[in-house]
Chains A and B, each alone.
Chain A
Amino acid sequence: MQNLQWKVITIVVVFVVFAAVGVYPILSAWKGLPAPGWLKEKQLKLGLDLKGGVHLVLRVQTDDALRLETETESERLREELKTRNIPVTTIAAISPTQFKVEGIPPAQDAAFRQAANEVQANFDRGSGVNGTYLFTMRPNIQVNLRDEAVVQARQTIERRVNELGVTEPQIAQQGAGGDEILVQLPGVAEVERAKQIIGSPGLLELKIVERVAGSKEELLVNNQVPEGMEIVPGVSAAGDTGNLYYLVKRVAAVTGRDLRSARPSLDENNRPAVSFTLNSEGGRKFGKVSGENIGRQLAIILDGRVQSAPTLESRITTEGRISGSFTQEEVQNLSLILRSGALPASLTYLEEHTIGPSLGADSIRSGVLASVVGLLLVVAFMLIYYKLSGVNAVIALIFNLVILLGLMAYIGAVMTLPGIAGFVLTMGIGVDSNVLIFERIKEELEAQRGVRASINAGFARVFWTLVDTHLAALISCAFLFQFGTGPIRGFAVTLVIGLISNLFTSIFVSKTLFEMVLSRRQQVATLSI
């Protein structure tokens, strides 16, 4: 008796707690009932497919990061060889992970090897043939660089998305190679702007201009780009459509990494521009370079294109401005991109899914309708077929659904459209356990056992069957979760929670209900089942 009381209390407490967490916030949002803030925070979250928003999958081109490393390292070797007076004909990157050095005089071979050993810790040096060496990036360094590039890209995207002011964005790494980034922006309507901001490289470089010309060819010396230089395209001046080419020093005086802040402003002609402030390290470097190059042009290069090339009239340290033919919106986006830092590698879009809020609302409506119809059908069937015991099953079923909603809300799981399908199926499959138990009780009754004994035997015998069926279903759910992304994961989570709560309700709640009914009567001869 005492035992039964405790069981009932346990059940009531579980029900109240889960109903408060899982069901009440939904009702309060729907009907405008008051609810404390901490409860509202726990409200079941809706997935992108129900709420509307943008789902993007991007791939980080990690080769870019490797190429950059290879180029930087080959430049370093070039500088080192210059200081040691070892002449070579060419040093060139031939793939993202390899560069080649050619034309080392045989007499200097040993000196070259020594210099290379000191500088190139990250590269394996091939055996030299005829004064030619091939340097290949070490595999572990490659792996590290790729990982780093993806992590940095993710962090940069996170900063940009936060600056955009999206609520509850989700940004995660995924994919077989780990180089994909999933970005979910609930409720975002300006898809194009979001994509532009997320995807632009945002690399700012300030470089001293050597020469300017109308075509690339004019800048070549002996048909080659001079050592340590590069050619960058750009526009000449405001309103001018003609392209200009700038021969600039390859090594940037200052890059976006030294940036402290960037904000929209106006230039001297009252056109939209972006003003930036450098940090102290950047200011020191910039001060030195600008002081040494007064009277020369400084190219302000954004993502490989010269935006403007003002003449340095005095030494500048921390303040600068990027002007060009920008619109007000571009200036705003640009400031945001610069503030959040450059991407370490370029991104390609693999997937884009935009769900309008109206479609999400339609999905919710039909999902709820299907749930209600499914519930009514199952309830009607159970009541007709099992009579009063059907009431028991229906109560267990409602418990099951309340616990399902409550647990989902509590652990912060996301309800998706397939998740609603999982919810509906949980109702249909969930009564399975009750049916199994009831059918067994019927058999026991037919075997002329007493009602109490039949009920006890029914539950006892079915227990391990239920464990087996539920565990087998959990196994397939685990792989479903593993397979899926977003909505499908929501579905798998719904099924798993439904299965677990079903085990509790069908065995514990249902049995206790029977015991409650039986405890009121001394002699039990019949059972409505």
Chain B
Amino acid sequence: MHIFKNTNYDFLRWRWYAIALSWVIILAGVVAIAKNGIPKGVEFAGGTVVINKFERPVSIQQVREALDRNFPGGGQNVVVQAYGDPTQNQVMIRVPQIGAEQGASLSVVAQQANDALRKGNLGNFSTVSTQIVGPTVGADLARRGVWATVLSLVGILAYLAFRFQFSFGVGAVVATMHDLLITLAFLAFFRYDMTLNVIAALLTMTGYSTNDTIVIFDRIRENLRSMRRDSLNHVINVSVNQTLGRTIIVSGTALLTALALFFFGGEVLHGFAFTMVIGIITGTYSSVFIAAAIVSLWRGAGPTRAAAHAPATATPTTAPQQPARRQKPQRKARAS
């Protein structure tokens, strides 16, 4: 079986449309974030989260009413959500406050919430998880998350500049930033909380999205050596087409596993899996449409002579080959 066999799409011709489409999504994301803000998970916002498992089914409405009546200060700021599998009768209650940081009283608010539920006569329940985060923790985490992302982009830029050329590093990093922005936009559209797991997924995505890009760049580098007379844009198009089958298949398998996580991985990994799903899709898209286009824009679309001095570390012994141009049939071989 062979999909995308000997394709010959002119990807670079579409680059302006692709870039425009990306900008539309990113700007929509910016608008969504400006309007509603990025909802922060408890790790970043601080506060108290209690997950309770009830013995008999309770509605979110009942829990909310119990809190409205009995929680000190009322339940206006309290978020109540069903948690996990509906048959488990688990309810998540999130309160923006925490108990005092001093001593062992951090969990006072959690206890107040549970007391309020007990007074509400909702039947017996047990607390399966409590998470209480003070306000100072989130700021530190957010700062470290941003730094980790920036540094990992710089690291990738440096590595690609060293192994390929600076323009390739720029292409890969721009493509990766594009993926981050698009994914953030989708997180904003679907109102996912920004949690540690989502940040982890975003960082993983930067690595993954570069993967696809590198494979294409590698082919461009190889073809630059054998197609010296062709324009850079032509070389890029040929390379993207040659690797297209691989790009689609790999994204497909990665997407399959990310979807498995999304549908079966449980509540805690939901945001993570969603981020990965979007990240894989946009990563593939940007590798094909954006990364190489940036390289072409960065260097101008002139003939490749100037570009031909790409470091020749890969496959030094065998002469570079470009399947479409091979004339001499060698031994018979058949692909099924």
Contact = CB atoms under 8 A, between A and B. Distances in A.
A247 B269 CA distance: 59
Given A199-B103, A350-B101, A425-B257, A484 B249 contact: no
B129 A355 contact: yes
Contacts of B197: 418, 421, 487-488
B107 A191 contact: yes
A447 B323 contact: yes
Contact of A351 (B102, B134, B207, B331): B134
Interface string A439-483: 100111111111101100100110111001101110111111011
A205 to B, nearest CB: 19
Contacts of A367: 265-266, 269
Contacts of A527: 333, 335-336
B35 interface: no
A401 interface: no
Given A378-B257, A425-B258, A475-B152, A349 B211 contact: no
A529 B276 CA distance: 29
Interface string B106-131: 11000000000000000000111111
Given A386-B1, A448-B330, 11 more contacts: A175-B140, A350-B136, A425-B261, A429-B211, A432-B250, A435-B253, A447-B321, A472-B211, A472-B214, A476-B210, A478-B155
B61 interface: no
Q: Which of A377, A425, A427, A442 has the most CB of B within 10 A?
A: A425
A435 B336 CA distance: 16
B78 to A, nearest CB: 19
Nearest to B150: A479
Please provide the 8 A-B residue pairs with the shortest distance between their CB atoms, ordered closest to farther. Answer: A428-B257, A366-B266, A476-B207, A483-B148, A374-B260, A356-B128, A374-B257, A479-B152
B20 to A, nearest CB: 28
A475 B155 contact: yes
A478 B88 CA distance: 38
Interface residues of A, number: 97
Nearest to A358: B128
Interface of B: 1-2, 51, 53, 84-85, 88, 101-104, 106-107, 126-134, 136-137, 140, 144-145, 147-149, 151-152, 155-156, 159-160, 163, 196-197, 199-200, 203-204, 206-208, 210-211, 214-215, 218, 222, 242-243, 245-246, 249-250, 252-258, 260-261, 263-266, 268-269, 272-273, 276, 313-315, 318, 321, 323, 326, 328-336
Interface in A247-305: none
A421 B155 contact: no
A448 B130 contact: no
A451 B331 CA distance: 9
Given A377-B256, A483-B144, A484-B196, A476 B137 contact: no
Q: Which of B51, B136, B199, B204 has the most CB of A within 10 A?
A: B204
Given A351-B132, A475-B152, A418 B272 contact: yes
A424 B255 CA distance: 11
A427 B261 CA distance: 12
Contacts of A114: none
A1 interface: no
Interface of A: 49, 57, 59, 175-176, 191-192, 195-196, 199, 346, 348-356, 358-359, 362-363, 365-367, 369-371, 373-374, 377-378, 381-382, 384-387, 417-418, 420-422, 424-425, 427-429, 431-432, 435-436, 439, 442-451, 453-454, 457, 460-461, 463-465, 468-469, 471-473, 475-480, 482-484, 487-488, 491-492, 495, 525-529
The A interface, classified by DSSP as helix, strand, loop or mixed, is helix
A175 B139 CA distance: 12
Given A359-B51, A425-B257, A464-B313, A348 B102 contact: yes
A448 B250 contact: no
Contacts of B101: 348-350
A370 B330 contact: no
A460 B315 contact: yes
B256 A349 contact: no
A38 to B, nearest CB: 33
A465 B252 contact: no
Contacts of B210: 469, 472-473, 476
Q: Which of B85, B200, B215, B326 has the most CB of A within 10 A?
A: B200
A263 B332 CA distance: 88
B277 to A, nearest CB: 11
B136 A488 contact: no
B177 to A, nearest CB: 13
A476 B156 contact: yes
A471 B145 contact: no
A473 B211 contact: yes
A468 B214 contact: yes
B266 A472 contact: no
B131 A464 contact: no
A351 B272 contact: no
B249 A428 contact: no
Contacts of B2: 442
16 contacts: A49-B268, A353-B130, A354-B129, A358-B128, A425-B258, A432-B211, A435-B253, A439-B243, A448-B329, A454-B333, A461-B222, A469-B214, A475-B155, A476-B152, A480-B152, A526-B336
Contact of A491 (B148, B200, B335): B200
Contacts of B88: 362
A454 to B, nearest CB: 6
B244 to A, nearest CB: 10
A421 B269 contact: yes
B268 A435 contact: no
Contact of B250 (A356, A436, A453, A491): A436
Contact of A446 (B144, B206, B323): B323
Given A352-B131, A476-B155, A484 B200 contact: yes
Nearest to B201: A421
Contacts of B261: 370, 374, 421, 424-425
Q: Which of A445, A460, A471, A476 has the most CB of B within 10 A?
A: A476
Given A196-B104, A445-B333, A476-B203, A421 B249 contact: no
